[in-house]
A and B are shown apart, each in its own frame.
Chain A
Amino acid sequence: MINKFIPKTIHRVIVKALSIFLLFAVSLPSMAELELRISKTSDDGIPIYLANIAGGANGIIEADLKRSGRFTVIDRSKINNLPAYGAPLNAGAYSNIADYIVRGKTLNGGLEVELTSTSDNAKTIYNISSNSNNRRVAHQAADKIYEKVTRERGAFDTRLAYVTVTNKTSNNRMFRLYVSDSDGHRPKAILSSRLPVMSPAWSPDAQKLAYVSFEENTSAIYVQNIFTGKKRKISARDGINGAPAWSPDGNRLAMSLSISGSPDIYVANVNNGELTRVTTSSAIDTEPSWSGTNSIVFTSNRGGSPQLYRTSASGGSAQRLTFDGKYNSAADIANNKLAYVTGNRGAFHIALRSVNNSGSDRLSNGQLDESPTLSPNGAMVAYTTLKNGDNTLAVVSDNAKARQFLTSPVGDVREPAWSPYLNQ
């Protein structure tokens, strides 16, 4: 109706302006950074005070330590006139405020960071050399502090892979596979496709990602080097090619294939392609995760509902691991901890347990949480949760005391995969 009254030229201009707007709207997500929001921090963690460091590294270190759920970062206003780094520090004077005081300075593009215990005035100084990604320098400093205080290796200087989707219910939908720092900064899209991309999995050397892509209108498993972009098709057999998971030695990929009818777990040698069948059930067997060099935990509905089972990577009988709840799936294992999805009474949560003991803790309380992935030290779990109708990433500490959200301004963010420790 309205169209009738708008002259053709104006109509054309409107259409053109609209299409330019749409073009930008569609290309926006590729440059959008995830936004980190802290929803909960531990207030009974180890109290630590971080002095200002020129360049702002202390802010990155602070967010890292908070994310672990093991530290309570003391408000800067609690200590006045703290001697600048280099000047003598009588740390004992602050023992009623913090257990540790961190001071530091930038040095040759890197960082020099001093950790002082207020109980015995003991000082440790760390020199972190420069890096082309200067945020990594701060993450490495956070790892040093974390390790000294908790006696557990830090995992802040690591990466996340994740999938974003824009326009998910329209024909313009676009899937992108991203790699970012573990706090969501410096995202880089390494793949875009109009057809689904899913299930990213890191190689143990943190150089490559295996993933599932439907780009050729059937499912296939690819391995792509995240630095060179070079990619190789590993499996494109008839039916399902899904859920790739690297063996700890990086020579094999466990996966779910349906070449024999129903989906079963197979292990493919990445170098020569040799395929070993691991499970033989007529039910759904998928989502393998390695537990050590010769054991695989996977999801199967052989008992009537999806549950976790464990079997040898060379095949044989499987042992059921989960009994509570009617939906337990998507295991991820690191440092002997097992994170998984547990469904009950209409809601799906992330749970954490030890691989060998069945007692579990619930780590999340969303309605449809999924895709848990453990940091390599097992201290944190990233997962997907619904926020304002879209999927977004969350990171929760293993003690559930700290939670951060990594949200995108546009579209869905999902399927995080936490990288192993970085060697370079």
Chain B
Amino acid sequence: MIIKVEKLTKQYRHKDGLIDALSNISFAVEKGSFVTITGPSGSGKSTLLLSLFGLIKPTSGKIFFNNAEISNATDNELAEIRQKHVGFIMQNFALIPYLTTIQNIMVPLTLEKIKKNEQWERAMEVLKFIGLENRVNHLPRELSTGQQQRVAIARALVHHPSVILADEPTGNLDPALSLEILDFLKKINQTKGITVIMVTHSPVAAGYGNLKIHLSDGHLSEQKVKESVLVS
């Protein structure tokens, strides 16, 4: 089991009182799973995704990563876990605008203080994997949206993470590009054994998951397991 969530609750303070963004969510994810989180807008999908590795601090509940509790980890410890074990893919691509393709991909390795030569080799390796080796020195604005999202995937992969968190990765793409990106994620999941947890609105995208979590109003309303996924 790579991730286990126990009674996760997140409340936001509002002038009318406390609002439950997440309420007593519990589930577990096996290593190598492809998890999709679906639900209507405001159901807490992104909050759940971002709470997993400390980008949002939960109000209560426990989160385990590789059987170690990380819900009480310090800010620096969580940053280190994200740096070494987690890749992020966002709807808005989250590329740094003044860095070229290769430089954007090397950022996680820079934060890990990997040597320059190794940074370059690993970045080129993932660039070839996503088929953008001819766009090495292009700035994000010089790439199409599909290419930008592939660069974001490359950046998420370059440090060999064990988990990839994807928040609406196809939200800004047309259907054809969406399928291309989803196929990429499936390929990563199947060939590299990386666990993928993806938030999506799209029923097509949701179909890629072997564990499907559906949220409504911050509650886990449904879990469907296709293959070897544990549910508590």
Q: Are A and B bound to each other?
A: no
